A and B are shown apart, each in its own frame.
Chain A
Amino acid sequence: MSNLTQETSQQSFISFFLTAGCDSVAHAVKKSFIVAIWFVFLTFPIMVIQVNTIEKTVVWHWNKIGYVAIAVFFGSFLWRWLLARKELKKDESTEETRIEGLLTRIQSHPLLKLASLGVLALAAILYPQVFDLYQTNIMVSCLVYIVLGLGLNIVVGLAGLLDLGYVAFYAVGAYAYALSNMHWGIGFWFALPLGAVLGTLLGLLLGFPVLRLRGDYLAIVTLGFGEIIRLVLENWGDITMGPSGISNIARPGFFGMKMSIMDSTIYMYYIMIGLVIFTIFCVNRLQNSRIGRAWLALREDEIACQAMGIDKMKTKLLAFALGATWAGMAGVIFAAKTTFINPASFTFWESAMILSIVVIGGMGSIRGVIAGAVILILVPEYLRNFAEFRMLLFGAIMVLVMVFRPQGLISAKRKIYKYEASNTASAANE
């Protein structure tokens, strides 16, 4: 009996798989066939035609067409099945995924939480010892992006202000350190708070005029500001050294010790770990505070938020300035890490990258942003083996995440819920 039901369920699964999103198997085959042809057409220039520039001949890889057609034909079945499955589970999608559930379970258990934090800390400490300079360097830049992502998360994820010019504050931090180091020999540890303060000030300065706008309009204006900063850096040669940039920026010192590149990279790594922990700590506390709630309210409904007595301008400005603070600090670290900066490091691409980290990771979710940064920064690095397909795969990953998890890898919902649960318990106990 059970064998029978298993068999029928297997049969129905196969038929569901074959006809997902279609009327019949014939229809599905027809659809897949069309898709396959379309993909053959689309990928024809990159898959089939290969120009040999040395011998000035064109090599035709006709066999590759077959692979594409077969892969797409079967892949489209899988794609439709995944989409149909997602559609079926729409109601359940508000619930936690398995990973999120696991995270929650670990968090709610004090011993497990401590243990997993210990493992994480150990891994973080041992990382540069175990891996080589290259890996450590990649990790440092990943950590920089985590800080940037968490900073932008305040503006975009919590307060809901679409900021496409975030990189401007990053640039200001980097140039603040580079210039003050070049002219007055100011060290890294003084420059770090200086970068933070400058970031905040610039955030306030830029925020004041633009925050009357919202949504798309705000995005465009911030995009403009980001470009203005970059163009100023590029063209104000007397001060910023123009496109040639500033080199020989001092690495962070450790009580005047001379360090090799290896040592200073490891040192940089630990500084970054410290800053990431500090950022997580601050952002976590901020988002669960009175101000954090005001940001969320602002994101959800601006009119209701104002009607509840929240000063819209002040709250927005605060989010903008605080977000810029982290960018300023990350900028200082970036300058110290690379020892060379020029305006090319602060293009719109960087802003888009940081925004993608926040959106793909999960808006307003700290763990999400970390996951987003790890994936978006490390994946392209490790995909270097695939050379020319690197960016293609990268784009595909982004599309897949947005199709199947539009709320981001780790959504923020549960976090708020948990925070309230623990607090209500204490409120009820009083």
Chain B
Amino acid sequence: MNNPVLNVKAVCKDFGGVRALDEAELSVNDKEIVALIGPNGAGKTTFFNCITGIYTPTSGDVLIDPAAKGQAVRINGKKPNVVTELGMARTFQNIRLFPSMTALENVMIGTHCRTKASVWGAITRNKATREEEQAVIKRSYELLQLVGLDEFVNELAENIPYGKQRRLEIARALATDPFLLLLDEPAAGMNPQETKELEALICQIRDQFGISIMLIEHDMKMVMSMSDRIYVLDYGRMIATGTPQEIADNPAVIKAYLGEDDDA
């Protein structure tokens, strides 16, 4: 079996006296769609922040292996931009686009860590810079087409409809050329039709780019139909893992979501 591209081992995160993550374990295999679910406040976004470098885990290991060949690199404590450069791109739960930049520019920002035009290149606009710029524009435009936003190319991000903004965030994350795409509640605030389209888009991205995807999501219908595996987080602890069917039947998960009957 292939080595997992992301392997999280016993990660803990304390905020003062509160333990937000307690020995959380998780792995994502190559070209797999993994969902992370759990009740509100379970620590899902904290988990994302820990593996993308926004927080440093209190203890534990976050290992990545972009080529899935058994050469794992430990990334905890690395800065978010380094993590992105290594190939993990994320979106945010509360959309964090660059509001007064156009959609195209937002995506172009994603290519920043893969390009290298310097100040000198920018001022002289030499051949290498111009070619790089053209390539970036072309690729960004293609990514916008992929997520179905080509009509908004020159629209400011703040003027784009909410559902489309989420798609723009995905395009921007894809522009960083990741091996693992981390989506934090990509379907939040979307209607059923949009959710369905989003699901198709995510599967298409996985197939077309051959990358792994991990998502946090509350829409159970979407999670159950598209994930290969599901992890359930509750009070910072991974309480269950398995295929959608196994999770649906797991009594611990049902208990976490619906609560325990006091009389029992």
The A interface, classified by DSSP as helix, strand, loop or mixed, is helix
CB of B141 within 8 A of CB of A428, answer yes
Contact B119 A424, beta carbon cutoff 8 Å: no
A427 touches B98 (CB 8 A): no
Residues of B within 8 Å of A307, CB to CB, are 52, 54, 80-81, 84, 89-90, 92, 96
Segment at the B interface, from A68-76, A261-269, A284-292:
A284-292
In the complex, which range does the number of interface residues on chain B fall in?
35 or more
The number of chain A residues touching the other chain, given as a range, is: 35 or more
Interface string of A90-127 (1 = CB under 8 A from B): 00000000000000000000000000000000000000
CB contact between A311 and one of B81, B115, B153 (< 8 Å): that residue: B81
Contact B137 A293 (CB under 8 A): no
Contact A426 B134 (CB under 8 A): yes
Contact of A80 with B by CB under 8 A? no
A428 to B150, CA, bound (A): 10
Chain A's nearest CB lies how many Å from the CB of B177? 9
Contact partner of A417 (CB less than 8 A), chosen from B85, B108, B154, is B154
A303 to B105, CA, bound (A): 17
Is A312 among interface residues, defined by CB-CB distance under 8 A? yes
Of B54, B108, B154, B173, the contact of A293 (CB 8 Å cutoff)? B108
On whether A417 and B102 interact (CB within 8 A), knowing A282-B123, A308-B176, the answer reads yes
| A420 beta carbon closer than 8 Å to chain B | yes
Partner of B172, one of A303, A308, A312: A308
- A293 and B101 in contact, given A303-B54, A420-B153, A427-B138 (Cβ under 8 angstroms): yes
Find chain B residues with CB under 8 A from A413 CB. Answer: 100, 156
Q: Which of A290, A300, A428 contacts B101 (CB 8 A)?
A: A300
Q: Is B110 an interface residue (CB 8 A)?
A: yes
Contact mask A302-313 → B, CB, 8 Å, 1/0?
A: 011111111110
**Given the complex of chains A and B, what is the CA–CA distance between A417 and B90 in angstroms?**
26
A286, A293, A297, A416: which contacts B123 (Cβ < 8 A)? A286
Q: Are A291 and B109 in contact (CB under 8 A)?
A: no
| Inter-subunit contact B104/A293 (CB<8 Å) | no
* A301 and B112 form a contact (CB under 8 A): no
User: Is the CB–CB distance between B138 and A430 below 8 Å?
Assistant: yes
Contacts of A427 in B (CB 8 A): 134, 137-138, 141
Q: CB of B241 within 8 A of chain A? A: no
Q: Is the CB of A304 within 8 A of B112?
A: no
A300 touches B99 (CB 8 A): yes
* A301 and B96 contact, CB distance less than 8 A: yes
Q: Is residue B133 contacting chain A, with contact meaning CB distance below 8 A?
A: yes
The 10 closest A-B pairs by CB, nearest first: A309-B113, A289-B122, A309-B84, A304-B96, A300-B98, A306-B80, A427-B137, A290-B117, A297-B109, A427-B141
- What are 30 of the A-B contact pairs (CB < 8 Å)? A282-B123, A289-B121, A291-B118, A291-B122, A293-B109, A300-B99, A301-B98, A303-B96, A306-B81, A307-B52, A307-B54, A307-B81, A307-B84, A308-B110, A308-B112, A308-B173, A309-B81, A309-B84, A310-B81, A310-B112, A312-B79, A318-B119, A416-B102, A420-B104, A420-B105, A420-B154, A421-B154, A423-B104, A423-B137, A424-B104
